[in-house]
């Protein structure tokens, strides 16, 4: 009789562990979804501000075209090309704002201070949002690698989480004291 009780206790303990692990994995997937939504919002904000700045007439025509095309491509990119398009926008921002003097010129134009402030916030928030997303992905991958999770298919049909890899280095001119504004 005591053997049956111990077997029942063991089965209940294993069931509780599996349930807890499945719940943890579900919470991690929800965290990934929330982090991805925040990342998408920040990427869209950065591209929108860059596109507005490109069409505002405060940049020289060549810089406006480069920035507009990169921002438009980032906003219109499909899922497979999104990382590349966002990286190209980062490169275009660094090309358009290579030094603090370029930022100062835009600040002098009407509405330039506000535009540079929004762009500075955007280029600072994108790396943070990407880091939060990739940290959530890393945590979920670590749990999904456990044998118990694989053997009992605790991840269900959820796709394997993928990190968002892009060049998110902001222009130095926007992150220095002369180009930066308060968040």
Q: How many CB atoms lie within 10 A of CB 155?
A: 19
Flag whether pLDDT at 159 surpasses 50: yes
Question: Using one digit for the tens of pLDDT, what is the confidence trace for 131-144?
Answer: 999 999 999 999 99
Q: Cβ(97)–Cβ(174) under 8 Å?
A: yes
Dmax (CA) for the chain in angstroms is 87
More confident residue, 135 or 106: 135
Q: At 18, which helix (H) or strand (E)?
A: helix 2-55
**What's the pLDDT at 82?**
96
Residue (of 33, 37, 57) closest to 45 by Cα position: 37
* Portion of the chain with pLDDT greater than 70, in percent: 96
**What's the pLDDT at 175?**
82
Half-sphere exposure of 59 (CA within 13 A, CB side): 23
* Portion of the chain with pLDDT greater than 90, in percent: 78
**What's the pLDDT at 178?**
46
Q: Cβ(109)–Cβ(43) under 8 Å?
A: no
Boundaries of every domain in the chain: 2-175
Question: Using one digit for the tens of pLDDT, what is the confidence trace for 15-37?
Answer: 999 999 999 999 999 999 999 99
Q: Cβ(28)–Cβ(139) under 8 Å?
A: yes
Report the C-alpha gap between 64 and 159 in whole angstroms.
Answer: 39
Regarding pTM above 0.85, the answer is yes
- The mean pLDDT of 119-125, rounded to a whole number, is 94
Mean pLDDT of all residues belonging to the chain: 92
**What's the pLDDT at 181?**
46
- The mean pLDDT of 59-65, rounded to a whole number, is 93
Token couple for 8: 């029942």
Token couple for 34: 């929330």
Report the C-alpha gap between 103 and 119 in whole angstroms.
Answer: 11
Report the C-alpha gap between 83 and 103 in whole angstroms.
Answer: 26
């Amino acid at each position: 009789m005591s053997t049956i009780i111990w077997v029942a206790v063991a089965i209940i303990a294993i069931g509780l562990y599996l349930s807890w692990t499945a719940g943890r994995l579900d919470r991690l997937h929800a965290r990934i979804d929330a982090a991805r939504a925040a990342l998408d919002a920040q990427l869209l904000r950065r591209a929108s501000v860059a596109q507005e700045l490109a069409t505002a007439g405060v940049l020289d025509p060549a810089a406006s075209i480069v920035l507009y095309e990169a921002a438009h491509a980032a906003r219109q990119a499909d899922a497979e090309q999104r990382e590349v398009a966002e990286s190209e926008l980062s490169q275009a921002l660094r090309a358009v704002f290579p030094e603090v003097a370029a930022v100062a010129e835009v600040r002098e134009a009407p509405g330039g201070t506000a535009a540079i402030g929004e762009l500075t916030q955007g280029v600072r928030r994108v790396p943070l949002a990407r880091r939060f997303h990739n940290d959530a992905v890393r945590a979920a991958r670590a749990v999904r690698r456990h044998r118990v999770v694989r053997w009992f298919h605790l991840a269900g049909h959820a796709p394997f989480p993928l990190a968002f890899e892009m060049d998110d280095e902001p222009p130095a001119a926007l992150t220095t004291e002369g180009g930066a504004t308060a968040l």
